[in-house]
Structure 1
Amino acid sequence: MGMSAPLMTNTPPHDHAASREGNLPERLARAVTLGGPIPVSQFMAAANTHYYATRDPLGADGDFTTAPEISQMFGELIGLWAADLWDRAGRPDVRWVELGPGRGTLTVDAMRAAARAGFAPPVHFVETSPALRARQAERVPGATWHDDVEDLPTDRPLLIIANEFFDALPIRQLVRGRSGWHERIVACQDLLFLPIAGASVPDSVIPEHLREAPPGAIIETSPTSVGIMRVLAARIVAQGGALLAIDYGYEGPALGETLQAVRGHAFANPFEEPGDRDLTAHVDFATLGMVGRASGAAVSGPVPQGTFLTRLGIDARAAALGPRVAPDRDRLVEAMGTLFKALAMRHRDWPEPAGFA
Structure 2
Amino acid sequence: MSGAPERLDHFMARANAAYYSRQNPFADFTTAPEISQIFGEIIGAWTAVVWESLGCPNPVLLAEAGPGRGTMMADARRLTARVAPAFHAAAQVHLIETSPRLRAEQSRRVPDAVWHDGLETLPDGSMILVANEFLDALPIRQFRHEGAIWLERHVEDGAFVELPCPPPADLPEDEAALEGVLEVNEPAEAFAEALAQRLVAQGGVALILDYGTPQNPGDSLQAIRAQRPAEPLAHAGEADLTALVDFGAIARAASRAGAATQGPVPQGTFLSRLGLFQRVERLARGRTPEEAAALMTGARRLAEPLQMGGLFKAMAITASSWPELPGFAA
- Paired position in structure 1 for 2:206: 243
Structure 1: segments with no counterpart, 5+ residues: 1-28
Of 109, 112, 122, 2:78 maps to 112
The whole-number CA distance in structure 2 between the counterparts of 1:114 and 1:332 is 21
- 2:123 aligned with 1:153: yes
CA-to-aligned-CA distance 1:33-54 (integer Å, 9 cap, x gap): 2xx2111000000011111122
Return the TM-score normalized by structure 2: 0.90
Of 256, 261, 265, 2:223 maps to 261
The whole-number CA distance in structure 1 between the counterparts of 2:260 and 2:14 is 34
- Paired position in structure 2 for 1:88: 53
- Paired position in structure 1 for 2:102: 132
- Paired position in structure 2 for 1:64: 29
CA-to-aligned-CA distance 1:240-299 (integer Å, 9 cap, x gap): 111000011111135x21000001211101101211110000000111112212212221
The whole-number CA distance in structure 1 between the counterparts of 2:195 and 2:168 is 30
Structure 2: segments with no counterpart, 5+ residues: 285-291
The whole-number CA distance in structure 2 between the counterparts of 1:243 and 1:47 is 28
Q: Percent identity?
A: 45
On the 8 A contact 2:260/2:321 being kept in 1, the answer is: no
The whole-number CA distance in structure 1 between the counterparts of 2:297 and 2:168 is 48
On the 8 A contact 2:154/2:160 being kept in 1, the answer is: yes
Distance 1:213 1:309, change over 3 A: closer
- 2:262 aligned with 1:300: yes
- Paired position in structure 2 for 1:186: 155
SS in 2 for 1:337: helix
Matches of residues 40-79 of structure 1 in structure 2 within 5 Å?
Answer: 40-58=8-26, 62-79=27-44
Return the TM-score normalized by structure 1: 0.84
CA RMSD of aligned residues (A): 1.9
- Paired position in structure 1 for 2:318: 346
Deviation at 1:211, TM superposition (A): 7.7
Number of matched residues?
Answer: 314
- Paired position in structure 1 for 2:288: none
Deviation at 1:332, TM superposition (A): 0.4
The whole-number CA distance in structure 2 between the counterparts of 1:288 and 1:117 is 31
SS in 2 for 1:227: helix
On the 8 A contact 1:306/1:333 being kept in 2, the answer is: yes
On the 8 A contact 2:6/2:154 being kept in 1, the answer is: yes
On the 8 A contact 1:175/1:181 being kept in 2, the answer is: yes
- 2:162 aligned with 1:169: no
SS in 2 for 1:315: helix
Distance 1:349 1:117, change over 3 A: farther
On the 8 A contact 1:203/1:211 being kept in 2, the answer is: no
On the 8 A contact 2:149/2:164 being kept in 1, the answer is: no
Distance 1:266 1:125, change over 3 A: same
On the 8 A contact 1:248/1:339 being kept in 2, the answer is: yes
SS in 2 for 1:162: strand
Deviation at 1:352, TM superposition (A): 3.1
